[in-house]
Chain A
Amino acid sequence: GQSLEQPSEVTAVEGAIVQINCTYQTSGFYGLSWYQQHDGGAPTFLSYNALDGLEETGRFSSFLSRSDSYGYLLLQELQMKDSASYFCALNQAGTALIFGKGTTLSVSS
């Protein structure tokens, strides 16, 4: 089967940098995605890694190490609006995404 582990909660202050880690177990790995979800809203796509290394998209970056079955989401210059839940998710060819349990990020001023 598949499983993902990520911290349940992270807190930080505005302007800081936060890293949310995700470890996974799976067969047939295709890629690791990251989604953001605000309370009451649908998940929105943030980033995707199919190969090892860092993907940068503005203030958000995502890293993947397939040999370590590990990835992380890096959020820089944190803003209050970044307070949300962040999910890592496994992409497997031809199947639905399998989501981790989510990390609740709280950003304070």
Chain B
Amino acid sequence: GAVVSQHPSWVICKSGTSVKIECRSLDFQATTMFWYRQFPKQSLMLMATSNEGSKATYEQGVEKDKFLINHASLTLSTLTVTSAHPEDSSFYICSAKGGAGANEKLFFGSGTQLSVL
């Protein structure tokens, strides 16, 4: 099946620094990738839709200048959390669409646990 690789799996950083998270589709091309955030014991909340070669579409309430998304190729999307603060500590998960039509489904990366001190 389709594989999505996400790196790093966990990161600890100081407040005010920036963190980059990579999401790669290993065996298929993903023109669209999605970034979710999940706080403990809560659901996955969609942050943004990343489209290859164009600007990302952000969900309401998500600061585009804080969460920079770059989708420069068909197999790589990156999320950069700029000037991270403790409230940004969360589990970040990327996903990519595979299949087509009614068989379309999302394949998830393994997630990145971000802890901001």
Contact = CB atoms under 8 A, between A and B. Distances in A.
Given A98-B46, A99-B44, A101-B42, A48 B105 contact: yes
A42 B110 contact: yes
Interface residues of B, number: 23
B104 interface: yes
Contacts of A101: 42-43
B34 interface: yes
Interface in A20-37: 30-31, 33
Interface residues of A, number: 22
A31 B102 contact: yes
Interface string A66-105: 0000000000000000000001000100011111111010
A41 B102 contact: no
Contact of B106 (A30, A41, A45): A45
Contact of B43 (A42, A44, A48, A100): A100
Interface of B: 6, 34, 36, 41-46, 49, 93, 95, 102-111, 113
